[in-house]
């Protein structure tokens, strides 16, 4: 039950993120008097809807996205042909080029008919293509920017409210013995007693100082242990509110480390036999922008290398190699949420922090991916608006006639290809998430 609770939380968070993304488009569109006929979360059969003014609001069966339907997303044809002339033009087209031209013309005609049917003179409403370039950008940027805001707010809640998992100077567990490198098993009578156990360190002890060096966190403690080597040192711990002094003599053991060349080698290191506890520690609000930037740049890198990563995922799915954990589908994200809520190793606060981190990362991915300059993504409309603005500006500077709205209908054949590729990517990731899933623990 705990597993499915996590799946439902992630699904609900994703649906809310999609709904807010579409609100990011809806609000500026209505402010600029664009006629918006539909606002829906999901695709497929309508489960519920209601009408307010010009707009129908609703929820559809498949929560795999959402949309805002604005009138006149594509400019109509500049010259209107009669029905007979249009039929003859279609008949003359042959082959691939003719098919592409037919798709473009049909898109323009559909847009023009839509505007004629939905917008009446004097009602104060506009078609999207009639907006100025800055207003088009405001409408199309609104959705992705909403996801960026959601991501930033969630990271701020995590950092300043819940805290970041941090290794502390509190002992979580004391090893009973010293095991050879690479072995993980129960201790036997033949194994040497671990120095921490021999000295009397207990679970829950808070290390105050090590060999006279003050200790505030795990980094301080490990640095002091490494500096002391295998010599006997005095350790002061806080136990049940009282300071207790102990004598510990670390032992040298071989442990694998990575050298400057990236090779794993065995080196002798002082071993005590204690594990640190992990606690959530709040960070200042000033730490949030740097983390958001780090997640943003990391997501951009993933999107730029997405084709290679998808090839790698396909090979790992059908070839048994290790899978790239940075790209997962909806099934994989839901599985992660289930793993978090069903994990006994995490406290409730830690589970909440991880779940919010997943949703924050998802919103950052939605922001970056939607900025790809290809239709039907928001970035495609943004690129069209920028091209239109530059072209009109150049025409004004050179004294030429206003070229009018950018004919984004010409991109429709490419749009169909992008839709097919996105569908294929989604199916492949779904298979990979089932056959070779990414696991958090």
State yes or no: is 388 an active-site residue: no
Cα 198 to the center of its chain, rounded Å:
47
Which residue from 378, 331, 356, 360 is spatially nearest to 9, judged by alpha carbons?
Answer: 356
Rounded CA-CA distance 311/259 in Å is: 31
Phi, psi torsion values for 273, nearest 5 degrees: 100, 45
Angle 331-334-338 (CA atoms, 0-180°, nearest 5)?
135
**Sequence-separated contacts (24+) of 289-298 with Cβ below 8 Å:** 291/155, 291/159, 292/151, 292/152, 292/155, 292/364, 295/151, 295/155, 295/360, 295/361, 295/364, 296/364, 296/367, 296/368
Phi, psi torsion values for 317, nearest 5 degrees: -70, -45
Look up tokens 């089932």; give the residue: 434
H and E: helices and strands count for the chain: 12, 10
Residue 402 · residue 395 · CB < 8 Å: yes
Residue 381 · residue 408 · CB < 8 Å: yes
Q: Where are the alpha helices (DSSP H) in 200-329?
A: 218-228, 287-304, 306-319
SS3 119: coil
- Per the rule left: phi > 0, alpha: psi between -120 and 50, beta: everything else, 72 is left
Of the candidates 22, 114, 350, 388, the residue annotated as catalytic is 22
How many Cα atoms within 13 Å fall on the side-chain side of residue 31?
11
Considering only CA atoms, give the Rg of the chain. 30
The Cα-based distances of 55 to 36, 37, 42, 121 in angstroms read 6, 4, 16, 19
Query: Which positions are catalytic?
Result: 22
């Amino acid at each position: 039950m705990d597993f499915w609770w996590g799946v439902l939380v992630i699904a609900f968070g994703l649906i809310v993120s999609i709904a807010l993304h579409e609100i990011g488009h809806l609000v500026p569109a209505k402010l600029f008097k664009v006629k918006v006929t539909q606002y829906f979360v999901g695709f497929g059969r309508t489960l519920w809807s209601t009408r307010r003014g010009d707009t129908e609001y609703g929820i559809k069966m498949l929560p795999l996205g959402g949309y805002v339907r604005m009138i006149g997303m594509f400019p109509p044809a500049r010259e209107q042909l009669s029905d007979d002339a249009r039929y003859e033009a279609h008949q003359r087209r042959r082959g691939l080029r003719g098919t592409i031209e037919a798709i473009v013309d049909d898109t323009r005609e559909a847009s023009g008919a839509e505007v004629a049917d939905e917008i009446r003179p004097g009602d104060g409403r506009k078609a999207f293509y009639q907006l100025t370039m800055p207003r088009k950008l405001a409408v199309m940027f609104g959705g992705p920017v909403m996801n960026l805001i959601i991501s930033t707010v969630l990271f701020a809640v995590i950092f300043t409210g819940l805290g970041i998992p941090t290794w502390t100077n509190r002992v979580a567990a004391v090893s009973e013995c010293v095991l050879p490198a690479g072995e993980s098993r129960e201790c036997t009578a033949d194994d040497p007693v671990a120095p921490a156990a021999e000295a009397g360190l207990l679970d829950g002890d808070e290390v105050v100082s090590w060999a006279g060096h003050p200790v505030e966190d795990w980094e301080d403690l490990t640095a002091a242990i490494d500096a002391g080597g295998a010599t006997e040192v005095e350790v002061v711990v806080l136990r049940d509110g009282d300071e207790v002094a102990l004598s510990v003599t670390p032992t040298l053991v071989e442990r694998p480390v990575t050298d400057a060349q990236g090779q794993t080698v065995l080196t002798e290191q002082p071993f005590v036999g204690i594990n640190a506890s992990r606690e959530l520690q709040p960070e200042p609000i000033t730490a949030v922008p740097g983390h958001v930037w780090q997640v943003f740049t990391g997501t951009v890198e993933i999107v730029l290398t997405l084709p290679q990563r998808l090839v790698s995922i396909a090979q790992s799915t059908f070839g048994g190699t290790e899978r790239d954990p940075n790209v997962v589908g909806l099934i994989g994200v839901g599985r992660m949420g289930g793993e978090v809520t069903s994990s006994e190793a995490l406290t409730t606060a830690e589970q909440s922090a991880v779940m919010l981190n997943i949703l924050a990362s998802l919103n950052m991915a939605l922001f970056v991916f939607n900025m790809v300059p290809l239709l039907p993504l928001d970035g495609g409309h943004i690129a069209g608006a920028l091209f239109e603005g530059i072209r009109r500006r150049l025409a004004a500077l050179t004294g030429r006639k206003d070229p009018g709205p950018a004919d984004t209908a010409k991109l429709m054949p490419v749009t169909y290809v992008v839709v097919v590729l996105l569908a294929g990517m989604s199916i492949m990731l779904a298979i990979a998430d089932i056959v070779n899933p990414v696991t958090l623990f």
